[in-house]
Amino acid sequence: MDLSVYFKSIIDRDRCAVVICNLEHTVIYLNPAAAESYKKHGNLLGKSIFDCHNSDSCEKIRKVVRWFSESCDNNLVYTFHNEKQNKDVYMVALRDENGKLIGYYEKHEYRNPETMKRYDLTGSG
């Protein structure tokens, strides 16, 4: 069974932005939430993640990726809290089945309480 369709569906349905990069720092995937969130930068797919970051942020990204490569146990870094949107942002290592680093992704987690009614099947979630 090819689970990749299921994994892609999980990421695509996430309300938080997910941006996936390879080790060359090229954006290889944006979920719909990320495409919407970053549309002011144009289509980032196939472009360097550094095209939409300042030099300080670029150096931090490089430093985190070096840290990811030092150990299979180095997999998650909290990068900042966006007060305006009340969300935390993380960098997460992506590894193959042998633990080799193959890329990374940026994950946003909103901290606002859910406003959707529990088990409400009338909405479009």
Assign 119 a pLDDT band (cuts: 50, 70, 90). Answer: confident
- Over residues 78-107, the mean pLDDT reads 95
> What is the rounded average pLDDT of the residues 26-32?
96
CA distance 76 to 67: 10
Question: Which CATH number characterizes residue 76's domain?
Answer: 3.30.450.20
The answer to whether residue 124 is domain-embedded is no
Q: Which domain holds residue 37?
A: 17-110
Angle at 18 between CA 90 and CA 12, to 5 degrees: 145
- Residue 115: inside a domain, yes or no? no
Q: Is residue 118 part of a domain?
A: no
- Mean local confidence (pLDDT), 17-37: 96
pTM of the model: 0.87
Nearest alpha-carbon partner for 110 in 91, 78, 83: 83
Confidence at residue 120, expressed as pLDDT on a 0 to 100 scale: 84
| Overall domain count for the chain | 1
Q: How many CB atoms lie within 10 A of CB 68?
A: 23
Q: Is 106's pLDDT higher than 80? A: yes
